[in-house]
Amino acid sequence: MDVRSIMSLAVEKEQAAYELYASAAKLSSDAAAKELLTDLAAQELRHRELLSGLDPHDLHGIEALSDGEPCVIAFGLDEAMAPRPRVMDLLAYAARREREARDFYDRMAAAATDDEHRGMFTKLARMEEGHRTRVECLRQSLIGGADQG
Spell out the domains of the chain, with CATH numbers in brackets.
3-148 (1.20.1260.10)
Residue 72's pLDDT is 42
Residue 91's pLDDT is 85
92 by Cβ neighbours in 10 Å (0-12 / 13-18 / 19+) ranks as: middle
Interhelix angle 31-52/115-148, rounded to 10 degrees, is 160
Which parts of the chain register pLDDT below 50? 67-78, 147-149
Residue 103's pLDDT is 94
83 DSSP 8-state letter? S
Helices (H), the chain: 3-27, 31-52, 70-75, 87-111, 115-148
Number of Cβ atoms within 10 Å of the Cβ of 45 = 16
Tell me if 37 sits within 8 A of 24, measured CB to CB.
yes
User: Residue 50: which of 76, 100, 11 has the closest Cα?
Assistant: 11
Residue 24's pLDDT is 86
Helices (H), 29-86: 31-52, 70-75
Tell me if 79 sits within 8 A of 20, measured CB to CB.
no
pTM over 0.75: yes
Residue 70's pLDDT is 38
